[in-house]
Structure 1
Amino acid sequence: MTTSAVGDRERLADIRHVLHGPSGNPARKEVAYAAYVAVILAGLYGFPVLRALVLAGDREAMGSALRSPCAALVTLAVTAVLALLGREAGRVRGPVVAPVPWVDHVVASSLDRWAALRPWFGYSLFAALFAGGLSGLLVGAAFVGARAAAWWFVPVAVVAGLVVGLVAGASWLLGQSRLSPPLPRMPGHESPSPVGTVAHEVRRMGLGELRTQASRSNRIVGGVHAGDLRAVRLEAARPVTRGRSLRLRRRGPVATLVARDVLGLRRAPAAALVGLLLSVLGGGTLGATLGSSAVPPLVGFVAAGIAYAGFGALAEGLRLEADTVGTPALFGAPPVRAAATHLVVPGLTHLLATTGAGSLTGSALGATVGDVLPWCVMTTVVVAGGSLLAAYRGRPPTTFSAVPTPQTVAIWYSTPLVLCTVLVGGMVWGATRWPTSGLLVIAAWVAGASMLYAGLRRVDAESMSHRDV
């Protein structure tokens, strides 16, 4: 260890002693306690639920699938999706987010930047590895507990989870570090760490980006505590850097709004890509659930949540329209008509992606297109209504206190997701049990139409609440 490294360690130790006293930084204890709580919750709720999912399907077919190349392909697909999401998340809130005073007074000093920021990266890396390892342990234990796999599947699943967590953490770090320019190469002042290593990527982070992400993180946490997810969404939104030269032309009240949504997706291609991938993933999961007995019917509830997230990623125009409720209409369209028009672009995109992926997956597993297509269409209708309810839900109610409680905020904001998950998951589960039931099809269409009608009614109620009496 060099003399400068020893000096940096001593100076950092003095700084921590001044800030936290002789007991040191309590962040380690907080991280350890969070991991302890996560293990308890996973053991009490995660393992029984996953084991029930496995027991509900064809265990022999699932065991054969685990020994086939399909398991490796699924793992690679999940790793690729998490790497992409981690890269995008790092551009908003990366793994190295120190408090603003620490950045201004410690990181900006002559201390080595890697030494000053290493604790925050260590906590984030531990969280990524812990989440991956715990997920692998849950999956492996669920299959072994349901007697769908041998005992050796547990260590294999844990190792696979750790690898996935490591890849996600690395892409998360790259997403943040690549916002800053590369370190200058000066003769006689080479970087103490090789290019591409973790220490080099952390040393690459500029003070401006560190301050920006620290301030943004504080505002996001404040918005979550206040129950103002609109402020959180605006903070997390990336600045528009593409398509700045594109202009919106007048095409009539309806066509102009549709063109506006298309322009928005062209200027935010990352959001469009994420929404498209999630829609394809949700449709493929629905097709697999309806097409193979090896997939538990309860996986349809997971597919419903994925489909809802995919539609939400495509419906930024709808949310922006909801943010301006109560103000004069930009193109003169009534609120309900404007909200319905903003469903055209995300609805058609989601419908094509879901039906295409669902039909292909279901056909590959032995089902017909007619067995899968109606339920994919109904999924799009249901999540469209849920997106309307989510965009125009307003602020959480304050029945008993001026400030909504965290429980109230969580229930208020999760209601559209829960409704879509229960309706779509219930439809898929019923379709696997009674595939020829005409009554189930009628009930599904009624439920989807009711969800869409409830969303439009919510738009009208929210717009009327802003009118002067």
Structure 2
Amino acid sequence: MPSAASAGRDRERLADIVHVLHGPSGSPARKEVAYAAYVAFILVGLYGFPVLRALVRAGDRGGMADALRSPWLALVALVVVAGSAALAREAGRVRGPLVAPVPWVDHVVASSLDRWAALRPWFGYSLFAVLAAGATTGLLVGASFWGARVAPFWVVAPAVVVGAAVGLLVGGSWLLGQSRSGTTADSPAPGDGPPWVAEVRRLGLHDLRTQSARSNRIVGGVQAGDLRAVRLEAARPVTRARSARLRHRGPVMTLVARDVLGLRRAPGAAVVGLALSATAAWALGATLSSTSVPPLVAFVAALVSHMGFSSLSEGLRLEADTMGTPALFGSPPVRAAATHLLVPGGIHLAVTTVVGCAAAVVAGADVGTALPWLVMTTVVLAGGNLLAAYRGRPPTGPFNAVPSAQGVLLWFAMPLLLDTLIVGGMVWGITRWPTSGLIVIGSWVAPAAMLYAGLNRVQSESLAHRDV
């Protein structure tokens, strides 16, 4: 651990470096992070709170109040927090919380300065970000339940504290994912001090350079709308089933075998997809079978289910990346895209129907109450994932050839939003008005329309890649 004198010299040298780079006003990064948190807080207050409160009030408030006092809620919350921490640690392997610019790493971190002192500003930015995100989420949830008169007013303060603690836990897992995934050959001895200081000192120069360059390429891919470049940067190297070979089994079964081989080589994606699909299916089955479950659960379950289907659909996305190239085995684009839906769609359909019907039986309802709508959920998500894979280029304005940041964000999120709103609205409508013929017909028409829209997008993108 550096002595007090050396720590003082390091602070002076860092102050001189910051003065040379940014002038007497210092680095603007702190103000930018604070402004981003301020904007997020305003958006949550203007849009998140009214929407969440309205969804909570639309459900059975008495049943939700009982659910808040149930011991099962603590178990569910513990599972969600543990899953979030695991995902954060996995994300740290690709892009951790301490990503300094490459010149800073080469000229400052690589010098004789203490590594903790050189990287402490980025640690502070990330710590503030995770604490602000957790506290804001807790405030949103607590205030929404209080505003809907489901919980008393005093739950807001504990919700903020718990949210900040969860954010701190997720942030710590994020840091561990970055510090424990790389090599430490060029990192100094951790020395004494708090655990987070030791983890920061474990970061090697090579890994810091790699993550910084990767972060720049990911940001550039997002701004340019190049999803393939983003996926290639974020993907981990394939180390499993390298000896397995793909054999010709006909134009359809070869593509199916290709998708199965892809899941064997990326078992993490398969496990995540199965876990998310099963969790969402249980929530959907419970919502369809009991009016005491708030409709908000259906919308959250639809979002999670879309993520599960997407995790199983890497073959579909890779097929979309090859648009404009000669088709594999001569399959037309629409047929190839539909074929790549067989594996993820079949897995998702089996998991969703089995787990969702099991949840309905546990809730005391008949299997037929939930089965048709669980099947329709898979159809909706199949169309949404087609729209996500074959989304094309981001839209541009008539007077600006460069897409705006808001347009790119909406363009990325549109398939997810459509799946969430359609599936959540379908489940909510069926449980709220079970005898309405209009709701039943709409619940059958909407999935078919989503699937048709997805296949039509495949055809239009294929025609757009042809030479005129």
Aligned counterpart, 2:403: 404
Q: Of 151, 154, 175, which residue of structure 1 is paired with 2:153?
A: 151
Structure-1 residue corresponding to 2:343: 345
Distance 2:137 2:182 in 1: 33
TM-aligned CA deviation for residue 2 of structure 1: 2.3
Partner of 2:451 in structure 1?
Answer: 452
3-state SS of paired residue (1:37): helix
What's 2:413 paired with? 414
> Does residue 377 of structure 1 match 2:375?
yes
Matched residue, 1:218: 216
Equivalent residue for 2:388?
390
Q: Which whole-Å deviations, capped at 9, do the CAs of 1:9-56 have from their partners, x for residues lacking one?
A: 121111111111221121111111111112211212222122112211
SS of residue paired to 1:396: coil
Give CA-to-partner distance per residue, 1:72-127, whole Å, 9 cap, x none: 11210110121121011111111010000000000111111111111112211221
The amino acid that maps onto 2:444 is W
Moved more, 373-382 or 241-250: 241-250
Q: Which runs of 4+ in 1 moved over 6 A?
A: none
> Which residue number corresponds to residue 88 of structure 2?
86
Q: What pairs up with 1:107-256 in 2 under 5 angstroms?
A: 107-182=109-184, 191-193=190-192, 197-256=195-254
SS in structure 1 opposite 2:153? coil
> Cα distance 1:366–1:193, how it changes in 2: closer, same or farther (>3 A)?
farther
Aligned to 2:395, the other structure's residue is in SS state coil
Output the TM-score relative to the length of structure 2. 0.94
Tell me, which stretches of 5 or more residues in structure 1 are unaligned? none
Q: What is the distance in 2 between the residues matched to 1:451 and 1:390?
A: 12
In 2, Cα distance between equivalents of 1:147 and 1:207: 53
**Which residue among 328, 331, 334 is the counterpart of 1:330?**
328
Cα deviation, 1:149-205, whole Å, max 9, x if unaligned, reads: 1233222222221221122111111111112235699xxx953236x9111211111
Give 1:317 deviation, angstroms: 0.5
**1:216 offset after TM fit, Å?**
1.0
Segment drifting more, 393-402 vs 268-277: 393-402
The count of aligned residue pairs is 465
Would the aligned equivalents of 1:96 and 1:121 in 2 still touch at CA under 8 Å? yes
1:25 corresponds to which residue? 27
Output the CA distance in 1 between the equivalents of 2:52 and 2:142.
10
Q: Is the 8 A contact 1:243 1:267 kept in 2?
A: yes
* TM-score, with length taken from structure 1: 0.94
User: How many Å separate the matches in 1 of 2:446 and 2:26?
Assistant: 56
Q: Aligned partners of 1:113 and 1:428: how far apart in 2?
A: 53
Distance 1:294 1:143 in 2: 15
The Cα offsets for residues 236-262 of structure 1, whole Å up to 9 and x where unpaired, read as 222212222222122222111111111
| C-alpha distance after superposition, 1:345-373 (max 9, x if no partner) | 11111112222332233333333222112
Secondary structure of the equivalent of 2:330? coil
| Change in 2 beyond 3 A, CA 1:331/1:217 | same
SS of residue matched to 1:253: coil
Which range moved further: 30-39 or 404-413? 404-413
Distance across 2 between alignment mates of 1:441 and 1:197: 56
SS in 2 for 1:331: helix
Which of 274, 277, 286 is the equivalent residue of 1:276?
Answer: 274
Q: Distance in 2 between matches of 1:397 and 1:34?
A: 25
* CA RMSD, 1 decimal: 2.0
Which whole-Å CA distance do the structure 1 matches of 2:384 and 2:244 have between them?
Answer: 31
**Greater displacement, 374-383 / 3-12:** 3-12
Structure-2 residue corresponding to 1:34 = 36
Q: Distance in 2 between matches of 1:440 and 1:190?
A: 65
Q: Distance in 2 between matches of 1:417 and 1:323?
A: 19
For 1:243 and 1:420, locate their aligned partners in 2 and report how far apart those are by CA, in whole Å. 33
Q: Which amino acid aligns with 2:262?
A: G
Are the counterparts in 2 of residues 53 and 299 from structure 1 also a CA contact under 8 Å? no
Aligned residue for 1:137, secondary structure, equals: helix
Cα deviations across residues 273-322 of structure 1 (Å, max 9, x unaligned)?
22222212221221232233232224322222222222111111001101
| Aligned pair partner of 2:104 in 102, 105, 115 | 102
Contact residue 283 and residue 354 of structure 1 kept, 8 A:
yes
Tell me how far apart the structure 1 counterparts of residues 192 and 265 of structure 2 sit (CA, whole Å).
37
Residue identity in the other structure for 1:111 = L
CA 1:145–1:440 in structure 2 vs 1: closer, same or farther (change >3 Å)?
A: closer
Q: Secondary structure of 1:450's partner?
A: helix
Measure the CA separation in 1 of the matches of 2:127 and 2:38: 17
Candidates 61, 70, 73, aligned match of 1:68: 70
- Answer yes or no: is the 8 Å Cα contact 1:183–1:204 preserved in 2: no
User: What corresponds to 2:15 in structure 1?
Assistant: 13
| Structure 1 residue 135, shift from structure 2 partner | 0.9
Judged with a 3 Å threshold, the aligned counterparts in structure 2 of structure 1 residues 190 and 301 are, in CA distance, closer, same or farther, namely closer
CA distance in structure 2 between the aligned counterparts of 1:151 and 1:439, rounded to whole angstroms = 39
**Does 2:265 align with 1:267?**
yes
Q: Does 1:301 align with 2:277?
A: no
| Mapped partners of 1:428, 1:298: distance in 2 | 10
Cα 1:119–1:362 change in 2 (3 A) is: farther
Q: CA deviation at 1:4?
A: 1.8
| Alpha-carbon distance between aligned partners in 2 of 1:147 and 1:389, rounded to the nearest angstrom | 39
Contact 1:65-1:71 at 8 Å conserved across structures: yes
Aligned residue identity for 1:17: H
Answer whether contact 2:189 2:201 (CA < 8 A) is retained.
no
Which residue identity does 1:90 align to in structure 2?
A: G
Give ranges in structure 2 of 5+ residues lacking alignment.
Answer: none
Asked whether the equivalents of residues 386 and 419 of structure 1 are also in contact (C-alpha less than 8 Å), the reply is yes
**1:414 offset after TM fit, Å?**
2.9
Letter in 1 for 2:369: D
Which of 415-424 and 169-178 deviates more?
415-424
Q: Letter of the aligned partner of 2:161 in structure 1?
A: V
The more displaced of 403-412 and 160-169 is 403-412
- Give, in angstroms, the shift of residue 210 of structure 1: 0.6
Is 2:289–2:363's contact at 8 Å kept on the other side of the alignment? yes
CA contact (8 A) 2:49 2:143 kept: yes
Can you list the C-alpha shifts for 1:366-424, whole angstroms capped at 9, x where unaligned?
33222112111101101101111221121123451322233332333333223222321
